[in-house]
Amino acid sequence: MDEAIRGFYFNTMYNLLKGKKGIIFGALDPNSIAWQTAERVHQEGGIFVLTNVPAAMRLGSIDVLAKTTGAQVIAADATSVDDLEHLVDQAMEVLGGKIDFVLHSIGMSVNVRKGRHYTDQDYDFTQKGWEVSALSFHKVLQVLYKKKAMNPWGSIVALSYMAAQRVFPDYNDMADNKAYLESVARSFGYFFGKEQQVRVNTISQSPTPTRAGSGVKGFDEFIAFAEKMAPLGNASALDCANYIVVMFSDLTRKITLQNLYSDGGFSNIGVSQEVMKMFEKQ
């Protein structure tokens, strides 16, 4: 992103989240959407705890983010209900009350990492990826719901991708995981909204050069293709972070059960002039 635009975002504050408290899952390094969301939430007046699995915390630099945002880090495996219960209890103790926002930014595919094609999956890998990327979201929601840990009009957001609706061959079993994730958001979101006035949504982001995204086969070529397709160009991690901040704020109190797009318009384009010109040259 152009540094002038980045500087504008980071120097323009609206106090959208002043007094709000939350949990941010999945911050790993400065390229991650969760990391940039944490920075923006901090600038908008929100306070939070950061969480990730211990192995990811060792690989990343989450302690640096915690220091700059004044956050406490609580290790938790999002596939473990026991870990999640401890996380939520500790978060409420650290933050001094119930929670207003949660970001689920977790995803991985062992099949992708191991180079297994979608038509030749190792189903142990498939199950592990599903548990981490999708079922973990249900577990997070269930723990928050049972503990009544969310304040009324709180907001929970998970990150998705439009491969949940359309075919992207090299996205592999992550497409299935994202479809399940979005279904959980709608189904659990109904009960959360009806009974506790809590919003649950997913955001489908442009292909983004995070550590997880870059592991997808042909990623560099696809991000270039998406850039040519989207009339506004690809949305950056920071663009997505800004969208998440708005979804956490009181400005979106009646938005729930939605899969929202942060992709420069890519999701509504059949073909662009730039892509057509590439074929004309051939």
- Non-local (6+) Cβ contacts of 59 within 8 A are 28
9, 161, 243, 261: the catalytic one is 161
Q: Alpha-carbon distance 168 to 51, whole Å?
A: 30
- Of 145, 171, 243, 261, which is the active-site residue? 171
Handedness of CA 72, 78, 81, 83 (dihedral sign): negative
Contacts with 148 (C-beta within 8 Å, 6 or more apart), sequence order: 98, 196
**Residue 33 marked as a ligand binder:** yes
- The reply to whether 26 sits in an annotated binding site is yes
Report the C-alpha gap between 215 and 231 in whole angstroms: 26
Q: Is 141 left (phi over 0), alpha (psi -120 to 50) or beta?
A: alpha
233 is in an annotated binding site: no
Annotation-wise, does 99 bind a ligand? no
> Would the annotation count 61 as a binding residue?
no
Residue 76 and residue 87 in contact, taking contact as beta carbons nearer than 8 Å: yes
Active-site residue flag, 171: yes
Task: For the chain, report the end-to-end CA distance as a whole number of angstroms.
Answer: 31
Residue 185 in tokens: 């958001």
The answer to whether 221 and 170 have CB atoms below 8 angstroms apart is no
- Active-site residue, 261 included: no
Enumerate the known binding-site residues: 26, 32-33, 106, 178
Residues annotated as catalytic (active site), given as ranges: 161, 171
Q: Which residues are annotated as a binding site for NAD(+)?
A: 26, 32-33, 106, 178
